[in-house]
Amino acid sequence: MPTINLPNPDRSISPYALTGDPIPFVKYRATDFPRIAFAAAHVVADPLAANDPWLTPAIDWDTTLKFRHRLWDLGLGVAEAMDTAQRGMGLGWPEAQELIRRSQAEARTRDDSLIAYGAGTDHLAPGPDVTIDAIIRAYDEQVGFVEGEGGRVILMASRALAASAKSPDDYARVYGHILSQVKQPVIMHWLGEMFDPALQGYWGSIDHDAAMDVCLDVIAAHAEKVDGIKISLLSAEKEIKMRRSLPVNVKMYTGDDFNYAELIAGDEQGYSHALLGIFDAIAPAASAGLAALGRGNTTTFFDILEPTVPLSRHIFAAPTRFYKTGVVFLAYLNGLQDHFQMIGGQQSTRSIQHLAELFRLADKARVLADPELATSRMKAVLQVYGVPA
The pair phi, psi for residue 365, each rounded to 5°, is -85, -5
pLDDT at 50: 93
The pair phi, psi for residue 82, each rounded to 5°, is -100, -170
CB atoms within 10 A of CB 317: 16
CB 163, CB 198: distance < 8 Å: yes
CB 178, CB 143: distance < 8 Å: yes
pTM for the model: 0.97
pLDDT at 128: 84
Low-confidence ranges of the chain (pLDDT < 70): none
Instruction: Name residue 334's amino acid.
Output: N
Q: Length of the chain in residues, anyone?
A: 389
The pair phi, psi for residue 334, each rounded to 5°, is -90, 10
pLDDT at 388: 85
* Tens of pLDDT, residues 99-149: 999 999 999 999 999 999 999 999 999 988 999 999 999 999 999 999 999
- Taking the C-alpha atoms of residue 37 and residue 276, their distance in angstroms, rounded to an integer, is 8
The pair phi, psi for residue 276, each rounded to 5°, is -130, 135
CATH superfamily of 30-350: Aldolase class I (3.20.20.70)
CB 128, CB 165: distance < 8 Å: no
Asked if omega into 319 is within 30° of 0 (cis), the reply is: yes
Which sequence spans correspond to the domains of the chain? 30-350
Beta bridge partners of 188: 155, 229
Beta bridge partners of 78: 39, 115
pLDDT at 19: 96
